Amino acid sequence: MKGNKILIILWLLVATFTSCSDFLDRQPLTSYSESSLWTGDNDAIAAANACYSGFEDGQWVIYMDVASDNGHNAYPWEGWQEFGNMQLLNSNSWRTGTKFNFTTITRCNWFLQNIDNAPIDKQLSDRLKGEVRFIRAYRLFQGSQFYGDFPLITKVLTAEEANEVSRTPKAKVVDFIIKELGEIAPSLPTSYTGNDQGRITQGAALALKARVELFNEKFTESANTCKSIMDLNVYSLFPNYQDLFRVTNEFNSEIILEKVYSSDPDQRIGIMILAPEDTPGGGWSSVNINQSLVDTYEMINGRTINDPLSGYDVDQPFKNRDPRLLQTLIVPGSEFAGIIFNPFNPQSLDYWPMYNYTGYVGRKYIHYKEELGDLYRASLNIPLIRYAEVLLTYAEAKIESTQIDASVYDAIDQVRNRAGLPAVDRTLYSSQAKLRELIRRERRVELALEGLRWYDIQRWKIGNEVMNGPIYGARECTIDDLGNVTYTSTKHIKIEDRTFDPAKNYLWPIPQSQVDLGKNLIQNPGY
């Protein structure tokens, strides 16, 4: 037997369960031994909480946009730039292994194998099982999307079994995920209160199920699942798009699932990755935004900027635009945290040639710096699934299954109207092809910086179209101390040339270290 174990084993599970009876490890307990763990409610809840602790990373969600045509990471050492340009992406790239990681799945399997030993109420037991099965399904979903065929592991493995693991066909993994989510949904509550807010709900199980079905072209099933969520009468769009992402509005009516960050110093997120470097207190400008995303936002009258009737003014490019544009991005001349963002000032830390910045950075999540305090240690929750996504999923699933009716337009209109845009022009958008164009544009702008664009490129197979060739940033200009912009050129700054190979780049490479250890793990084509 090989001396090393692949990451499926990693460490002795019992030693990791240093969680607590309150959600999110707010009061850390001492380590458990397997013989003493399953003694009551608090122990079972603590073991379930350990599964929550690493199932998602809010920074990762935000960074994922730079792996798509939405954004660009200026710093090669952060490990994200190559996900956008594919130029160094290979099986030895250190970030490629982040999702080929079985720590959370193993925790979940250990919990599920032992929970029945706990002398607790069946209703609580069923609920906790549902939460943990959801977390396992969530990680299996990510693994199958990033790597395709992915090991379907539903028990704790011995070292010998781990070294024999092979990749399960993606279709089988997807079927397992959908079945799991359908089975657990009835055992989960529709909402929580107090310290339990943020736990997995029935709506979260159904929403992930709808997403998985959509991403795998099970369109009729996805539409039906979305309708089940709507019929719960639990969720509604938050009235204000900008305020939706504020600390003061966490756990609002639109949030179905989010990564929770508490006020505990050990449970906070570094949101400085979005802020300009000139921000008082420091920012990183890590998540730059590409011009192509900026150009995707419609005018306030609902027309695209290339429509001659839109009223778009190339010298006032942010005037009369979809309000979500300036609610999502910081653009040249914008004010943020008491500074005027000026990436064309050679004295600025954000001067665009310094690291090939695009001249645009993210504003979503950091509108109200005074609420967040230290951007390096913020307690802001990061949404993972919102009701707006469910509405757009429902509409897309109906469009793709050629079941276009009034409910499709109504779902899209809810999202657009909340943003301040007019209802869909049903004369212009009357065919499947035109509605497909609309829904894809709407998903891109509504869900920007929420980590979903890469999945959309992958499933729509548009990588060759949108991930190839040069990418551009803002237009060259001068900016005065009041934020007044004067354009000095018709040209947009060029950032880099990208190359996308559809024969391989729709999947990530399996880390070479894992291929070396797992004798039955076969590398993805092209890597």
pLDDT tens for the 527 residues of the chain, in order = 333 333 333 333 333 433 333 332 322 333 445 555 788 999 999 999 999 998 999 999 999 999 999 999 999 999 999 999 999 999 999 898 889 999 999 999 999 999 999 999 999 999 999 999 999 999 999 999 999 999 999 999 998 899 899 999 999 999 999 999 999 999 999 999 999 999 999 999 999 999 999 999 999 999 999 999 999 999 999 999 999 999 999 999 999 999 999 877 778 899 999 999 999 999 999 999 999 999 999 999 999 999 999 999 999 999 999 999 999 999 999 999 999 999 999 999 999 999 999 999 999 999 999 899 899 999 999 999 999 999 999 999 999 999 999 999 999 999 999 999 999 999 999 999 999 999 999 999 999 999 999 999 999 999 999 999 999 999 999 999 999 999 999 999 999 999 999 999 999 999 999 998 888 999 999 99
C-beta of residue 271 within 8 angstroms of C-beta of residue 378: yes
Whole-number pLDDT of residue 279: 96
Neighbours of 447 (CB within 10 A): 21
Question: Is residue 99 exposed (0-12), middle (13-18) or buried (19+ Cβ within 10 Å)?
Answer: middle
For residue 27, give Cα distances in angstroms to 20, 23, 24, 30, 99.
6, 9, 9, 10, 28
Q: Strands 382-386 and 335-336, how do they pair?
A: unpaired
Q: Please provide the DSSP assignment of 215-282 as one string.
A: HTT-HHHHHHHHHHHHHT------S-TTGGGSGGGTT-TTEEEEE---SSGGG-B-GGGTS-TTSTT-
Write out the two tokens for 16.
């990791």
- 155 burial (CB, 10 Å; 0-12 / 13-18 / 19+) is exposed
User: Position 217: which residue type?
Assistant: E
| pLDDT score for 38 | 84
Point out which residues pair with 299 in neighbouring strands: 321
3-state secondary structure of 90: coil
* CA pair distance 258, 251, nearest whole angstrom: 8
CA nearest 250: which of 328, 192, 205?
192
Closest CA to 200 of 55, 99, 19: 55
* DSSP percent split of the chain into helix, strand, coil, nearest 5: 45, 10, 45
| Pairwise CA distance, residues 324 & 306, whole Å | 18
Under DSSP, the state recorded for 350 is T
Sign of CA dihedral 175, 176, 181, 183: positive
Q: Are 424 and 416 in contact (CB under 8 A)?
A: yes
pLDDT at 270: 94
Instruction: Please state, as a whole number, how many other Cβ atoms lie within 10 Å of the Cβ of residue 355.
Output: 16
Task: Tell me the β-bridge partners of 472.
Answer: 494
pLDDT score recorded for residue 155: 96
Q: Where are the beta strands (DSSP E) in 417-517?
A: 469-479, 485-498
Q: Can you tell me the distance from the alpha carbon of 333 to that of 330, in angstroms, rounded to the nearest whole number?
A: 8
